[in-house]
Amino acid sequence: MRLRYSRGVLTIAAIVVVLAVAITVGLINLLRTVTPLREVVAGCTVRTPEGELDLDVEQAQVSATIAAVAARRKLPERAVVIAYATALQESKLFNLDHGDRDSLGVFQQRPSQGWGKPKQLMDPVYATNKFFAALVKVKNYRKLPLAEAAQEVQRSAGGYAYAPHEPDAKILAAAFTGRVPRALHCTYPEPAATPSPAARPRTDEARRQLARALGSTAVTTEKRGWLVAAWSVAHAQKYGLRRVDYRGVSWRVEEVSDGWKPGGKSSTTEVVLS
């Protein structure tokens, strides 16, 4: 049996089809223009003339600590480069609670070899001081090939492995020593707009911990100021810091677009944490 449709029914059907197609095309175009929501993942980026590196937050914190300890000991940038290359090989700049045999920490130092007690070696400030204390005893370490200088300290089974990390170590040193301004940017999930008292910035605690590594936190040179600023940005999430200001520019926790922005409220002689 053949079905017959009236002209009105066919017209309505055609209109429905056209509308369905139009709605579908419109939704597709709308989805193309809407920026998808994305979860903000904590992480850091270093940019210097030597190159660019992405870091985990812990790696940035360890890097900042190494540079601060070196500054306290008044060591040259070459010492910092050697330390970074060593730590990259030994732990990838993580503070590991395990390793080969009884090796621990950033530099994988062994309690059984006289480096210190396990709890001490898990403190990056202590571990870095022990590393530098051994490095400065190496004759002409500044002029030695990096792998040779590092091996004199570490006595590793594969001392040759330190050398490939030298380019990345130089990038880190340029940024965290403060030689290159505004080189570090970290992104953290944005805290609540009105934080609870317990979540408010712990600026005093941050400065106390910085002082453990750096000694005096006073800004005496521009380079030292950028070292303090980099340390503060790397530790911002840990201490609830929302912004770091220095020399007329500002890093802000809510700024996920990368970089320091004009409008900092600090002078040239102080790094302001808030």
Query: How do 184-187 and 272-273 pair as beta strands?
Result: unpaired
Instruction: Tell me the DSSP string of 136-196.
Output: TTSTTTTTS-HHHHHHHHH--TTGGGGGGGHHHHHHHHHHHTSSSTT-EEEE-PPPPSS--
Instruction: Tell me the DSSP string of 240-256.
Output: T--EEEETTEEEETT--
Q: How confident is the model over 64-117, as pLDDT tens digits?
A: 999 999 999 999 999 999 999 999 999 999 999 986 788 899 999 999 898 999
Are the C-beta atoms of residues 45 and 53 closer than 8 Å to each other?
yes
Local confidence band at 1 (pLDDT 50, 70, 90 cut-offs) = very low
The CA distance from 252 to 260, in Å, is 8
Full-model pTM: 0.83
Closest CA to 86 of 143, 134, 139: 134
At residue 169, does pLDDT exceed 50? yes
78: its two tokens: 């070459």
The CA distance from 110 to 96, in Å, is 12
The CA distance from 225 to 271, in Å, is 7
Q: How confident is the model over 200-218, as pLDDT tens digits?
A: 799 999 999 999 999 999 9
- Which stretches of the chain are DSSP H helices? 7-33, 57-72, 77-91, 118-121, 124-135, 146-154, 166-176, 203-214, 222-234, 236-239
Kindly provide the b/e burial profile for residues 85-96, where b requires at least 16 CB atoms within 10 angstroms of the residue's own CB. Answer: bbbbbbbebebe
